[in-house]
């Protein structure tokens, strides 16, 4: 085992990578960096140990990085070898058959309820996977009422899909067993390979790669949560929702898979498939993106990527996918600090931010900077509704929040268009105290939340041709619970807001966060209202900023796509 890199070496490599990515196209694939450094020697000097670096290019947009030779040499070489493989243009189609297994074995199944080897089996049982589920573990006779087998080879029927939760040292055995059973797809939850930075672990991963290729088995992982496909009743965790939806998510991080599904659930999102693919030993970002682009159940694609295995093919796939459906892209390891973290997370060699951003934009996809932003944008694409322009009718909350909502909507690029005269006239008799005073945003406080005339105004605005969008700040609506008949007024308000978008065929977002009051009644009401919105498939956001920013980006994205068509 080689000594691990020091942090200094890592830091130097990361710094150099970020400096050289811009001039990456000067390099020839596979040639050690110093040889090619004719015109950029000052950059070399910036690196302490540049002679030990190689440049690993991926694709025509210089999405490559310099990586230290020492301790990474073999991994780098492997990556270059893998480039020589011809991409399989039919891969996107073929995967669907793999993702619909008739039988599943969980190798490393465990009776320890806190282990993932238990949860994989439990998840499949509880979601109701209709085919046979085979726990595999020589120490078990049965698990959750299912007969267990000591080895894959001893399972009587065919095994289409193997989930591996064994330690890395047993991974090769799993491949041999799966080969014997004619298995087409293995998911390796199994981790501790290249991401450890250790040479013995990296060598094991390379051997694994050779072995699966020989066996003709496709692999998800290693070091990931695998497949969540609720329509086919496949899940990696029993707590995930069972209803399928229209969002496809491919992610290198397993915990992000979990987070996006669970946070998304609270926001009303449901998924066609989520695939956590970890170190991308075999199936990579390009394969999966191609798959989602063609998948008829997927209407919105989200991606979390730390490092590209095949940059050129990925960008091609991104361009084609974005031409068909919205693609939201989050890049882990955008920064020098993130790159170091990504390397020890999924062994990814991340690329330079500006280059990446330009490439994503050029491909017609939407880049985001955090997981929350990714969820926010998917909520907009999946739930907000049709956006025909930027003119937004705003329910502003109350008082200062009305001003804040106006400012933030404006800053997000939305047009807080004045209240049209016909609506003002329509209000003259109804609201003699405020018809001339009320405006856009509608201020709940000048209209009396209690009687909730603000609702009447926003309904008129929502129906008016003067507006393309609806932005309703419902924070604080729970204050009206304090009034006489509070429950009725409150739930009526929620009901009106819930129907506003669909009734008017306009993109609509609702702001509904944690209430300021901590008394149980109002807290519970606000939380239940949030659930109601999510259940109704209404786009909800926890604060004004995130709602406005998301709607602004959504509207611009739609407008730009229309211009291009």
Q: Which of residues 393-412 bind a copy of itself (CB under 8 A)?
A: 396-411
Please report whether residue 547 would count as binding a copy of itself according to CB under 8 A.
no
At its nearest, how many Å lie between a copy of itself and the CB of residue 501?
21
Closer to a copy of itself by Cβ: residue 179 or 553? 553
For 120, the enclosing helix (H) or strand (E) is: helix 116-127
Return d(Cα 289, Cα 329) in angstroms, integer. Answer: 11
What Rg do the C-alpha atoms of the chain give, in angstroms?
A: 27
Strands 133-136 and 104-107: parallel
Residues between 295 and 314 that touch a copy of itself (CB under 8 A)? 304, 306
In total, the chain counts a number of residues equal to 565
CB–CB of 452/375 below 8 Å?
no
Closer to a copy of itself by Cβ: residue 104 or 511? 511
Q: Could you give phi then psi for residue 248, rounded to 5 degrees?
A: -105, 135
At its nearest, how many Å lie between a copy of itself and the CB of residue 132?
28
At its nearest, how many Å lie between a copy of itself and the CB of residue 339?
8
Closer to a copy of itself by Cβ: residue 175 or 547? 547
Tokens coding 21:
């990515």
Residues between 84 and 103 that touch a copy of itself (CB under 8 A)? none
Closer to a copy of itself by Cβ: residue 64 or 338? 338
Tokens coding 19:
């400096």
How many residues touch a copy of itself under the rule CB under 8 A: the total is 87
Residues between 499 and 528 that touch a copy of itself (CB under 8 A)? 514, 516-519
Please report whether residue 370 would count as binding a copy of itself according to CB under 8 A.
yes
Closer to a copy of itself by Cβ: residue 195 or 205? 195
Please report whether residue 255 would count as binding a copy of itself according to CB under 8 A.
yes
The stretch among 138-146, 206-214, 254-262, 316-324 that binds a copy of itself (CB under 8 A) is: 254-262
At its nearest, how many Å lie between a copy of itself and the CB of residue 408?
6
DSSP 34: G
Residue 297's SS3 state is coil
At its nearest, how many Å lie between a copy of itself and the CB of residue 228?
14
List 262, 323, 426, 463, residue binding a copy of itself (CB under 8 A):
262
List 252, 279, 351, 459, residue binding a copy of itself (CB under 8 A):
252
Using alpha carbons, list the distances in angstroms from residue 338 to 293, 351, 357, 531: 28, 10, 15, 34
Residues between 403 and 462 that touch a copy of itself (CB under 8 A)? 403-411, 416, 418-421, 424, 434, 436-441, 443, 445-446, 450
CB–CB of 551/414 below 8 Å?
yes
Residues between 189 and 208 that touch a copy of itself (CB under 8 A)? 195-198
Closer to a copy of itself by Cβ: residue 261 or 363? 261
Tokens coding 86:
């011809």
Return d(Cα 486, Cα 481) in angstroms, integer. Answer: 4
Closer to a copy of itself by Cβ: residue 134 or 467? 467
Three-state SS sequence of 326-394? CEEEEECCCCHHHHHHHHHHHCCCCCCHHHHHHHHHHCCCEEECCHHHHHHHHHHHHHHCCCCCCEEEE
Which residue in the block uniquely carries the two structure tokens 């399972």?
155
């Amino acid at each position: 085992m080689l000594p691990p890199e020091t942090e200094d070496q890592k830091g130097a490599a990361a710094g150099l990578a970020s400096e050289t990515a811009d001039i990456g196209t000067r390099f020839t694939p596979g040639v050690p960096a110093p040889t090619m450094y004719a015109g950029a020697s000052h950059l070399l000097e910036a690196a302490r140990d540049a002679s030990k670096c190689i440049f690993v290019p991926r694709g025509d947009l210089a999405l490559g990085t310099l990586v230290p030779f020492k301790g990474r040499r073999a991994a780098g070489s492997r990556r270059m070898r893998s480039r020589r493989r011809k991409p399989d243009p039919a891969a996107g189609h073929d995967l669907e058959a793999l993702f619909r297994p008739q039988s599943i074995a969980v190798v490393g199944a465990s009776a320890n309820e806190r282990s993932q080897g238990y949860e994989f089996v439990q998840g499949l049982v509880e979601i109701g996977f209709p085919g046979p589920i085979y726990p595999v573990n020589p120490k078990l006779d049965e698990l959750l009422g299912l007969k267990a087998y000591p080895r894959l080879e001893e399972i009587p029927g065919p095994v289409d899909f193997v989930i591996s939760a064994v330690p890395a040292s047993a991974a090769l055995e799993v491949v041999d067993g799966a080969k014997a059973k004619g298995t087409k797809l293995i998911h390796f939850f199994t981790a501790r390979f290249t991401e450890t930075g250790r040479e013995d672990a990296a060598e094991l991963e390379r051997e694994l790669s050779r072995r699966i290729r020989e066996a003709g088995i496709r692999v998800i992982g290693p070091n990931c949560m695998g497949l969540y496909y609720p329509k086919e009743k496949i899940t990696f965790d029993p707590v995930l929702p069972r209803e399928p939806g229209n969002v496809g998510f491919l992610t290198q991080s397993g915990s992000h898979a979990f987070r996006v599904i669970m946070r998304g659930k609270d926001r009303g999102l449901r998924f066609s498939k989520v695939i956590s693919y970890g170190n991308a030993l075999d199936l990579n970002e390009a394969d999966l993106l191609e798959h989602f682009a063609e998948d008829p159940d997927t209407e919105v694609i989200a991606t979390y990527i730390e490092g590209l295995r095949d940059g050129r093919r990925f960008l091609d796939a991104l361009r084609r996918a974005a031409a068909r459906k919205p693609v939201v892209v989050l890049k882990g390891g955008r920064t020098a600090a993130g790159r170091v973290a990504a390397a020890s997370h999924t062994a990814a060699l991340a690329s330079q931010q500006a280059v990446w951003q330009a490439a994503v934009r050029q491909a017609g996809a939407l880049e985001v900077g955090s997981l929350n932003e990714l969820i926010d944008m998917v909520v907009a694409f999946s739930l907000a509704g049709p956006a025909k322009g930027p003119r937004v009718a705003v329910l502003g909350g109350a008082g200062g929040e009305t001003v804040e909502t106006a400012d933030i909507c404006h800053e997000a690029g939305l047009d807080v268009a004045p209240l049209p005269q016909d609506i003002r006239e329509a209000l003259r008799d109804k609201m003699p105290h405020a018809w001339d005073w009320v405006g856009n945003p509608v201020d709940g406080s000048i209209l009396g939340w209690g009687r909730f005339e603000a609702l009447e105004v926003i309904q008129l605005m929502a129906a008016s041709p003067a507006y393309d969008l609806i932005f309703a700040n419902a924070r604080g609506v729970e204050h009206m619970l304090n009034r006489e008949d509070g429950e009725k007024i409150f739930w009526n308000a929620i009901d009106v807001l819930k129907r506003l978008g669909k009734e008017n065929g306009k993109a609509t977002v609702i702001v509904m966060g944690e209430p300021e009051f901590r008394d149980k009644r109002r807290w519970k009401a606000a939380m239940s209202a949030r659930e109601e919105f999510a259940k109704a498939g209404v786009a909800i956001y926890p604060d004004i900023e995130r709602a406005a920013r998301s709607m602004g980006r959504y509207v611009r994205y739609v407008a730009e796509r229309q211009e291009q068509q």
